[in-house]
Amino acid sequence: MTNYKKTIGIEVHCELKTKEKIFSPSQSIYGSMANTCTNIIDLGYPGSLPLLNNEVLRFAIKACKVLNLHITRDMHFDRKNYFYPDNPKNFQITQNETPIGRDGYVIINDDGEEKKIEILEMHIEEDTCKSVHSAKNSLLDFNRAGVPLIEIVTKPCIHSAKEATLYLEKLRELLLYAGVSDCKIEEGSMRCEPNVSISKTDKLGTKIEVKNIGSISHVGEAITYEAKRQEEILERGETLHEETRRFDDKSHTTILMRVKETGNDYRYFPEPDIPYVHLTEEFITDSLKDLPRMPDERRKDYQKGGILPINMEKIIANKEISDYLERFLDINLVVASNLLLGDISSYLNKKDIKLSDTKLTDSKFRDLVNKLDKKEISNKNFKDILVDIMETDKSIDELIKENGFNNLDDSVVDDIIAKVLDSNPDFVHQYKSGNERVLKALMGLVMKESKGKVNPSLANDKLKEKLDA
Amino acid sequence: MSKYIDLSIEKIHDLLKRKEITPTTLVLECFERIEKSDLNAFITLDKEGALKRARELEAKEVPDDLLFGIPIAIKDNIMVDGLKCTCASKMLDNFTAIYDAGCIDLIKSHDMIILGKTNMDEFAMGSTSETSFYGAPLNPWNRKKVTGGSSGGSASAVSAGLVPLALGSDTGGSVRQPSSFTGIVGMKPTYGRVSRYGLVAFASSLDQIGPMTRNVYENALLLNCISKIDKRDLTSFDTNEDFTRKIGESLQNFKVAIPNYFVSDIIDDEIREKVLNIKTILENNHVQVDFVDIKHIDKAVTLYQIIAMGEASSNLARFDGVRYGYSYPNPTSLDDLYMKTRRFGFGNEVKRRIMVGSYLLSGENAKIYYNKALQIRDDLQKSFKKVFDKYNLIIGPTTARCAYDLGVKGDDPIKSFMDDILVMHANMGGFPSLSMPIGFNKEHLPIGLQIIGNLCDEATIYQLASFIEKEIKDDFSEVRDD
């Protein structure tokens, strides 16, 4: 019945994970004890002046690049003036007139259909401090004050909750891979604020903004709920007013925070304490030089390498694994990814450590994958030596030797094969009748008989030779 | 009573070197005068700290640094670690600095001795120092007259010989105008020459700390000490030069411009006459002096009001009772805390400027006024630079009138700015500008000459100022004789 069209724009704030804050040399560490990462600049102390952290510019340039934004070469900062206790100077240093990035887009994949989500602009600003309210009083933690943020604003070009969540997932993936933000919504390092309007005509309806959403799926829920709520109001013949609502994750509804008053007056003017910034080509090129490959490029290689889509997404979702795999694109990706997603991941999870904490060197990993690929070592044998691979400096060859894998004489192998064939005439008969699948079963028996010590590749060849003779 | 403190810094240094006196001698002498003085020049005194420092210095070999052991007074909007920094406001009456400003680091590294913090207009807003929460400082030449402002306490203290050197800050004439009213030498350096780190901001794009001294040479010496690039102020620039180096050089081929506006009928006759007398002296010494017209020269006050108040409204927003300073007790709500803290914490002039500034930046006004003002400010700078293409320096009076009676300004907001119509151009364009005494009016009140130089050309200003200083026969030290 609904013939209302939803129109959605989304503002996203992301904390940049620079070592220091944007305008002060304070450390920027999430989870530190309250008010330990602060100094006179963060506290808005009289006489203090902002500095400008170049790393923030570099990170923002990277973000511009992966979001296909045009970089503003000549830019400055502006003061946004408003009183609130979480705003220590009672103005926020932001970019109003000259956002660092303009007119970009990201491509989302909506069930196989590619869509372009247009980004109006991206600017740099400082975060406010965190307020904790109790019945008796309010407490302020200035650790967050001055943490660098980028704010990314889309055009009103999103028309469904699904598109919105796909956009946010994509955005999160890109910024994460660009290495500029942790994008952890639960820790507040990524904050998504959609605005939703519905209309039956081409003219946009009344914009309602939703804040305080704790996950990407909740953004979808909030949009769906909000569109339905607005439709019910309009269908009752009532009118909507611009307002800001918040998402309530208990009731899965939106709740009114405040009605927008006409013309919020932030008295913007250029920040006089920070000279205008000119981004040179050299600086931009230099900032981008360590930008890693983005997920879509990686997906193409994974696909080419034969990795199944489901595993492909598992790898992309685990940036550490994907980054690791970047060094091994020339070997068997199926074997490599199965190893990483399977046995190696379980090992790491059990130990609660990272790949970089183990003794698995690049050459060892490469050797291991090649040996598994060429069946020079069986999966079972690999499992037996996994812990040694991860925890000792021994090479794969050394471990194979030490464990007595693959060291049986040819005559012994021949004996084992003969024994297996003798005791399984049915399989032999089936094979001769054209059922080649029993080869696998026979191989398994050979491996079992040899207690895994026979070289699987060699045994396979010999077995076939015997059967085909 | 000894009068070592009235000697030139070179002579004092010589006595220190020869161990005839010690830094303690100087500090005690200053405090003897300060304690006897009725000028209300200081807000905070640090006798204990100064004497302690003086004694520490006595253990040291006297280095070849003329400023070693010399007492100095600091305007009370500059942070000195451990001393109160009130900005002459109730808002910061209980506020103690927890760090040293950039220039204070340098003062301390030169082993100068800080005696205390000087009186001023509240948050440097005013031109008589009467907006001080602690009452106005008095002009030593006539205690019924204003010292000028906003660095009135520093001017009064140096003029009266309570201390040989002081620092002021100049946003729209606040070093030079009181220097002119009290017969001392005051310099507003090129914007960015002295770090603003630790200076409580009034109008960030105009504020500049400057030296206030008894003579030209000592002014250049003090500027040598306080100017250095400071990474903590992004607008500060690399500076490594000796500002005294041109003093004594010949004025051959020197060309000086006097803007017609600076000798127009807005200027008091006696002052104009003294300035024209300087013209004659210079011409007699083969300096070419021409009258020139400068585009936008009459717009400085308007520009100043828009830019300074706009920036001030934002800079002073941080005084809200939440983190430091005065906080209205037992507020009923957050808004109540904000409103009552600012209503009772700020004085009228400050509140007026915040209101006007907020209005000027509101909605479309920012474009109509602030952005437009920035454009005209650029044009004004260009038109001054054009003059400097042809002339070494620009001269004129510092003020249109001499010091006037305390209280006459009352609460007239427009009149306040008229005092500064001749000094604001230097702030707008970032140019260095100095005021020096060149005579007295009939009431025996000092008259100041202003010398404006091209960007970064303080050395040439000192060259001319020092020359003129030698030509002037008047004695500006008589009020030091208490």
Q: Do A268 and B361 touch (CB under 8 A)?
A: yes
CA distance B172 to chain A (A): 16
Check if the beta carbon of residue B370 is closer than 8 Å to that of residue B310: yes
Antiparallel, parallel or unpaired: β A269-270 and A78-81: antiparallel
Strand partners, B44: B117
Q: Do A274 and B234 touch (CB under 8 A)?
A: yes
pLDDT band for position A169 (50/70/90)? Answer: very high
Query: Which residues of chain A have a CB within 8 Å of the CB of B338?
Result: 83
Determine contact: A90 vs chain B, CB below 8 A.
Answer: yes
How far is Cα of residue A21 from the mean position of the Cα atoms in its chain?
Answer: 23
Residues 205-234 of B with CB under 8 A from A: 205, 231-234
Q: Which of B132, B150, B151, B179 is catalytic?
A: B150
Q: Do B198 and A47 touch (CB under 8 A)?
A: yes
The model's pLDDT over B204-223, given as tens digits with 9 standing for 90+, comes to 999 999 999 999 999 999 99
Report which of A93, A147, A163, A144 is spatially closest to residue A123, judged by C-alpha positions. A93
How far CA B158 is from CA of B6, B73, B198, B323, B477, in Å, comes to 10, 9, 22, 35, 10
B237 burial via Cβ count (<10 Å: 0-12, 13-18, 19+): middle
DSSP state at residue A340: I
Strand partners, B445: none
CA distance B232 to chain A (A): 7
Provide the percentage of residues in chain B whose pLDDT is more than 90. Answer: 92
Residues 177-206 of B with CB under 8 A from A: 196-201, 203-205
Q: Do B98 and A40 touch (CB under 8 A)?
A: yes
The model's pLDDT over B98-143, given as tens digits with 9 standing for 90+, comes to 999 999 999 999 999 999 999 999 999 999 999 999 999 999 999 9
Find tokens 């939106």 and name the residue: A254
The Cα B456–Cα B462 span in angstroms is: 12
Q: Do A265 and B362 touch (CB under 8 A)?
A: yes
Quote the pLDDT of residue A432. 84
Per domain, the residue ranges of chain A are: 5-283, 293-402, 410-468
Mean per-residue pLDDT over chain B, rounded: 95
Quick one: average pLDDT of A32-60?
A: 95
Quote the pLDDT of residue A1. 45
Residue A272 or residue A453, greater confidence: A272
Query: Which residues of chain B have a CB within 8 Å of the CB of A44?
Result: 318, 323
Residue B266 or residue B482, greater confidence: B266
- What are the backbone angles phi and psi of residue A86, rounded to the nearest 5°? -85, 5
Return the residue of B nearest to A85 by Cα. B322
Quote the pLDDT of residue A262. 62
pLDDT at residue A284 greater than cutoff 90 = yes
Determine contact: B387 vs chain A, CB below 8 A.
Answer: no
Determine contact: A265 vs chain B, CB below 8 A.
Answer: yes
Residue B17 or residue B365, greater confidence: B17
Return the residue of B nearest to A86 by Cα. B322
Quick one: average pLDDT of A307-323?
A: 93
Check if the beta carbon of residue B151 is closer than 8 Å to that of residue B131: no
Quick one: average pLDDT of B238-252?
A: 94
Structure tokens, A468? 């085909």
What are the start-end ranges of the H helices in B63-206? Answer: 102-109, 152-159, 176-182
The Cα B93–Cα B96 span in angstroms is: 9
The Cα B359–Cα B305 span in angstroms is: 12
Quote the pLDDT of residue A403. 81
Quote the pLDDT of residue A401. 81
The model's pLDDT over A105-134, given as tens digits with 9 standing for 90+, comes to 999 999 889 999 999 999 999 999 998 888
Helix (H) or strand (E) holding A124: strand A113-126
Quote the pLDDT of residue B330. 93
- B127 in catalytic set: no
Quote the pLDDT of residue B414. 63
Query: Which residues of chain B have a CB within 8 Å of the CB of A51?
Result: 231-232, 234
Query: Which residues of chain A have a CB within 8 Å of the CB of B101?
Result: 47
- B169 in catalytic set: no
Quote the pLDDT of residue A112. 86
Quote the pLDDT of residue A407. 59
The Cα A20–Cα A28 span in angstroms is: 5
pLDDT at residue A2 greater than cutoff 90 = no
How far CA B86 is from CA of B139, B341, B380, in Å, comes to 21, 15, 34
pLDDT at residue A135 greater than cutoff 90 = no
- Give helix then strand counts, H and E, for chain A: 16, 16
Provide the percentage of residues in chain A whose pLDDT is more than 90. Answer: 71
The model's pLDDT over B135-155, given as tens digits with 9 standing for 90+, comes to 999 999 999 999 998 999 999
CA distance B205 to chain A (A): 6
Mean per-residue pLDDT over chain A, rounded: 91
Quote the pLDDT of residue A263. 62
- What are the backbone angles phi and psi of residue B277, rounded to the nearest 5°? -65, -40
Number of Cβ within 10 Å of residue B426's Cβ equals: 29
Domain A410-468 has CATH 1.10.10.410: yes
Q: Do A83 and B85 touch (CB under 8 A)?
A: no
Find tokens 């269908």 and name the residue: A235
Quote the pLDDT of residue A433. 84
Structure tokens, A293? 């490959």
Which residue in the set B101, B314, B363 is minimally distant from A265, CB to CB?
A: B363
Determine contact: B367 vs chain A, CB below 8 A.
Answer: no
Quick one: average pLDDT of A11-24?
A: 96
Residue B441 or residue A430, greater confidence: B441
pLDDT band for position B415 (50/70/90)? Answer: low
A86 burial via Cβ count (<10 Å: 0-12, 13-18, 19+): middle
How far is Cα of residue A232 from the mean position of the Cα atoms in its chain?
Answer: 37
Cα dihedral sign, A153-A156-A162-A166:
negative
pLDDT band for position B359 (50/70/90)? Answer: very high
In the A/B pair of chains, how many CB contacts fall below 8 A?
Answer: 92
Quote the pLDDT of residue A49. 98
Which residue in the set A43, A268, A273 is minimally distant from B323, CB to CB?
A: A43
CA distance A22 to chain B (A): 14
Q: Do A45 and B361 touch (CB under 8 A)?
A: no
Number of Cβ within 10 Å of residue B81's Cβ equals: 15
Quote the pLDDT of residue A90. 97
Q: Is A313 helix (H, G, I), strand (E, B) or coil?
A: helix
CA distance B410 to chain A (A): 29
pLDDT band for position A463 (50/70/90)? Answer: confident
Q: What is the pTM of this model?
A: 0.91
pLDDT at residue B161 greater than cutoff 60 = yes
Check if the beta carbon of residue B213 is closer than 8 Å to that of residue B219: yes
Q: Which fold has domain B4-252+392-480?
A: Amidase signature (AS) enzymes (3.90.1300)
Query: Which residues of chain A have a CB within 8 Å of the CB of B97?
Result: 47
pLDDT band for position B413 (50/70/90)? Answer: low
Residues 316-345 of B with CB under 8 A from A: 317-320, 322-324, 334, 338
Q: Which of B174, B433, B435, B466 is catalytic?
A: B174
Query: Which residues of chain B have a CB within 8 Å of the CB of A52?
Result: 234
Q: Do B317 and A51 touch (CB under 8 A)?
A: no
- B75 in catalytic set: yes
The Cα angle at residue A460 between residues A368 and A385, in degrees rounded to 5: 30
Quick one: average pLDDT of A271-296?
A: 96
Query: Which residues of chain B have a CB within 8 Å of the CB of A43?
Result: 323
What DSSP letter does each residue of B307-327 carry, written as one string? HHHHHHHHHGGG-SSSSSS--
- What are the backbone angles phi and psi of residue A333, rounded to the nearest 5°? -70, -30
Strand partners, A243: A208, A259
pLDDT at residue A381 greater than cutoff 50 = yes
Query: Which residues of chain B have a CB within 8 Å of the CB of A89?
Result: 317-318
The Cα A431–Cα A425 span in angstroms is: 10
Provide the percentage of residues in chain A whose pLDDT is more than 70. Answer: 98
Query: Which residues of chain A have a CB within 8 Å of the CB of B199?
Result: 47
Query: Which residues of chain A have a CB within 8 Å of the CB of B191?
Result: none
Determine contact: A112 vs chain B, CB below 8 A.
Answer: no
The Cα B418–Cα B301 span in angstroms is: 8
Structure tokens, B86? 């009130």
The model's pLDDT over B304-331, given as tens digits with 9 standing for 90+, comes to 999 999 999 999 999 999 999 999 999 9
Find tokens 């500060």 and name the residue: B236
Interface test with B, best of A23, A81, A87, A90 (most B CBs within 10 A): A90
